[in-house]
Structure 1
Amino acid sequence: MKLAFWRKSSSDDEKRVAEVTTPAANPLAAVLRRFTTPEPDWREIEEALLASDVGLVATTALIQAARDGEGASGRARVRAAALQLLGDDLTDQHGEADVVLLVGVNGVGKTTTAAKLAARAKGAGLSPLLVAADTFRAAAIDQLRALGVREGVEVVEGRPGGDPAAAIHDALTLAAARDFAPVIIDTAGRMQTRSGLMDELAKIRRVVTKVAPTRTVEVLLVLDGTAGQNGLAQARGFDASAGIDGIVLTKLDSGARGGVALAVRRELGLPIRWIGTGERATDLVPFAAEAYVDGLLGAPTGS
């Protein structure tokens, strides 16, 4: 079954990426507007990048690449460097992943992200299955159940206080019998510093691989876009335990400065797969590098 098409960006998706990435107060765009010559004040641009949550490591790399590059203006050179840093995020096997495991700390929006992914897959004509594997919080199971009913998507529920791996085992068995795909698994929130919970996460991934060896698994770390550089520490801890394949950035519509995507890509080598653009079921769209960069720079898409 071809699954990749439900992940492809439409022109409307790309417009929404640019809109939510553009900060209400955009120091980077303000600086770049002042410099129309090829040689801008790189120190000012560096400060604006740091103020946009790009982070020191990514900012240093981006400035160096922009200075080494060519372009008719400072904006054009920064834009080209940013696109080069982000690279091509969707050219690997995860475009065909039929098991999606969502992980992250509490409060980042994993459960609503699971429901939004299911809604998008269903809207594309697929038969998604949701798995409520956050057995630590009965409320999370209730929430995903309600979201599943709203979207018309079946939900396999873990038992409160039970083993989440058991729920995942049941869900994968059901998916094989009834041809559900993708299977989208919501896991409990956990801090990357809690070794017991992180070990459990590694166990969950092993269970998925054992029960469904022919399925392609994608582990997505859900990060709050308003958390800024704190998200990097979270990503490092999760990557060691679960083998993160990509990032979902949520709450970009809630005052995030947006530059954290560049920091994640540069420092961790992890691609951004999806971004949250609002609270509706349709407000989760595939990450689009050009639209993202143009929103961050305050430039029209394609400029």
Structure 2
Amino acid sequence: MKQTGVRVTSPTEEINQRTGNLDTVSTIELVRLLNEEDLRVPGTVAELLPELAALVDVAVDRVEAGGRVHYFGAGTSGRLGILDAAELMPTFGVGQEVVIAHQAGGPAAFVTAVEDAEDVEEPTDTHDVRPGDVVIGLAASGRTPYVGAALATARALGAPTALVTSNPDAPLAALADHLLVADTGPEALTGSTRLKAGSAQKLILNTFSTALMVRLGHTYGNLMVDLQATNAKLRGRSLEIVAQATGAGPADAAAALDECGDIKTAVVYLLAREADHPAPTAARCRIALADSGGRVRQALTSLGISRN
């Protein structure tokens, strides 16, 4: 299929010359072509990592000062924002007090498309933004009015802004302090940004939120020490994390969890006991964690225990 010469407003809406015959090839060739396009995504995300790291550092400073992070998006972009934010509570023990996701059309639009919601230029949910917050707009095309309104509101309040897009010439770029362009090019299925552009957004959001949580002290090494054990599987995972972090056997890990009540305190308690710290108690370890902003390594240091 040849390019038609029709003017488009975003690279994602151009015709992809590599996939022009999707409807005529064999099924194995069809899925291979889709997969080959997907393989292009990580490289585009890698190119924007310095700017993404800068955004993480800004968000850490704002959250530590009492601010929050807002995701604003429509359609696929909005749903990816909701998905990322929703997973932070079970993984890191934080919820909307840190990251809030806004979807054009409201919660119902998560499961049923409300296509005209993205055209709203004065969304009421921007009223939730405060000067100390960070606002991240999600728009593959880089022109969604709903997202633009959120970024403009943040700008007026003096809140830092970012735009995640797949359009190098995004019209909303001027509203972003941090411009994150994953130039994924024409989609395998012309204009369907639930494909490469959506995959890029998910990688960016997962990287951003995970790095933010690490910097805020919700991990110890690469272990999820603020995991919320809300079901049998996660209760078992909690025991595994305590054991992995401390080298304790199953019985000792279970006893420490029972005594301390949470993974993080149990880890500090067992490591303090291993270091022959004088009479470590769950209460003392909990205080050390509170004084250290919930950071395990700093809590151990405050107890006179050095861990590399």
TM superposition score normalised by structure 2: 0.30
Greater CA radius of gyration, 1 or 2? Answer: 2
TM-score (norm 1): 0.30
